[in-house]
Structures are given as structure tokens and as C-alpha cells.
């Protein structure tokens, strides 16, 4: 999220802007999100303009605050059927190596998975070693989980290839 506006802390800017990155999950509607944002903007604009009208004692004053939304890009979320053989191979490998049953869900479009899926290439997004501070300062992964992840990947490939090999 980026906010821009003004040039000095004690001066109210004549213009301001915000850039917000919203990454939608498969169950989230773009139209629903836009409506929520528009409703919030309308409320703020109406309250601010009513306050200005009262403060200037001018009932015919034109609106002082306005806003607009520009969509810079819109990418679909990535999803694959939870019964797809690739997903089942992954779930079975995780059960075998880690003795846990992983949950499956869609993921936002912050990766190339949606492009692969749209091209007919089955894709699992977001599966990897345990870590933190992803794409940030001091990003890290657990070395033991890295070796477990490699073992899981090998098992997935082996099982998936047997299905179609």
C-alpha cells in the first residue's frame, strides 16, 4: 500500500492518492470488493463535505472532496480441484513424510500459478518449506523443513508419474 499527498506535515494537501494491492482468493468477488471500497469512499466524502458545508455556513457550497478508483490490473486467483490427481499425490506425500493431513485451498494471484492453470497445466501454489518474512528483510526457511519438502516433492513426482507414466 502506498499513500501520496502533500509536501509538508502541517499543510493539508490539495490532492492525495493511495495505491492498494488486493489479492483475491477464488471465493472472493471483484465486484463485492469494489462495492465495499466505493461505499467507504462515499461515506467519507459525504461526511467530509457535510462538515465543510456546516463550517462555511454555505448550504449551496459545491463538494470539496471527491474520489475515484482506477484498477491498474486484475488477475484471477489460482485454484485447482481438490480431487485432482496432483493434489491427491501432494496430500498423500505430506501424510507419508510428515504424518499430517494438509488442508487445501486456493491462492491469490501473487504468483504465476494462475497462468499455468489457465494454460491447462495442473499447478499447486504455495507449497514449500516452513519459513518467514517472505519477500521481506531477513527472509528465512527452516533447513529441516527444506529436506522434508524435497522428500515430499520426490514422492509427488514419483506417484504422479506412475499415474500417467
Query: pLDDT digits over 144-156, tens only?
Result: 999 999 999 999 9
What tens digit of pLDDT does each residue of 11-55 get? 878 888 999 888 888 888 889 999 999 999 999 988 888 887 777
Q: Are residues 90 and 43 in the same domain?
A: no
105 lies in a domain? yes
The closest of 4, 5, 3, 25 to 125, measured between CA atoms, is 25
Residue 124 has pLDDT above 60, yes or no: yes
63 lies in a domain? no
Residue 94 has pLDDT above 70, yes or no: yes
Domain containing 137: what range? 85-164
pLDDT at position 133: 92
Q: Are residues 91 and 155 in the same domain?
A: yes
pLDDT at position 28: 84
Please tell me the total count of domains within the chain. 2
Q: Are residues 103 and 159 in the same domain?
A: yes
Q: In whole angstroms, give the CA distance from residue 151 to residue 43.
A: 53
97 lies in a domain? yes
pLDDT at position 104: 84
Q: Are residues 44 and 100 in the same domain?
A: no
Mean pLDDT for 116-134 is 88
pLDDT at position 59: 57
Mean pLDDT for 101-123 is 83
Q: Are residues 100 and 151 in the same domain?
A: yes
Q: In whole angstroms, give the CA distance from residue 129 to residue 141.
A: 6
118 lies in a domain? yes
CATH assignment of the domain containing 96 = 1.10.150.900
pLDDT band at 83 (very low <50, low <70, confident <90, very high): very high
72 lies in a domain? no
Mean pLDDT for 105-117 is 80
pLDDT at position 145: 94
What mean pLDDT, rounded, does the chain reach? 87
Grid coordinates given for 143: 533447513
Amino acid at each position: 500500500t502506498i499513500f501520496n499527498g502533500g509536501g509538508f506535515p502541517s499543510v493539508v494537501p490539495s490532492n492525495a492518492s493511495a495505491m492498494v494491492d488486493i489479492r483475491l482468493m477464488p471465493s472472493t468477488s471483484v465486484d463485492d470488493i469494489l462495492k465495499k471500497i466505493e461505499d467507504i469512499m462515499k461515506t467519507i466524502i459525504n461526511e467530509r463535505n457535510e462538515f465543510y458545508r456546516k463550517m462555511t455556513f454555505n448550504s449551496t457550497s459545491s463538494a470539496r472532496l471527491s474520489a475515484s478508483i482506477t484498477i491498474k490490473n486484475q488477475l484471477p486467483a489460482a485454484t485447482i480441484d481438490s480431487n485432482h490427481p496432483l493434489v491427491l499425490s501432494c496430500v498423500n506425500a505430506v501424510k507419508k513424510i510428515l504424518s499430517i493431513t494438509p488442508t487445501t485451498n486456493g491462492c491469490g494471484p501473487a504468483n504465476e500459478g494462475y497462468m499455468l492453470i489457465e494454460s491447462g497445466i495442473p499447478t499447486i501454489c504455495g507449497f514449500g518449506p516452513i519459513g518467514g518474512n517472505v519477500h521481506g528483510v531477513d527472509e528465512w526457511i527452516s533447513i529441516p523443513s527444506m529436506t522434508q519438502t524435497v522428500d515430499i516433492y520426490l514422492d509427488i513426482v514419483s506417484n504422479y508419474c506412475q499415474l500417467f507414466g
